[in-house]
Amino acid sequence: LLLLLALFSPNLLGDPDNFIPANPLITPPHIKPEWYFLFAYAILRSIPNKLGGVLALLFSILILFMLPILHTSKQRTAMFRPFTQT
């Protein structure tokens, strides 16, 4: 039954937003990125300067990559770290 419905009247199963005619000059306000890009979207939206936003995004990613290198604990095991003691 679902196969027949999908083959002969696919518009019944569609999202209503897909039937709105597109305007290529204006991005709709309800469009948001997927959850794994929300941090980058928030950083880029919070800084009005485009170059500053891109630099802030690159700097935030660089900080995440530098955290393991900057960790200067004498303990090498994960046994005494707070995350494993929960």
Q: How far apart are CA 41 and CA 32, in angstroms?
A: 8
For residue 7, the one-letter residue type is L
The answer to whether the beta carbons of residues 24 and 37 sit under 8 Å apart is no
Q: How far is CA 33 from CA 40, 53, 70, 82, in A?
A: 9, 17, 31, 32
Q: How far is CA 42 from CA 47, 60, 67, 76, 80, in A?
A: 9, 12, 21, 35, 34
Q: What is the pLDDT along the chain (86 residues), one digit of tens a residue?
A: 788 887 888 777 677 777 788 888 887 777 788 889 999 999 999 999 999 999 999 999 999 888 878 777 777 676 766 665 55
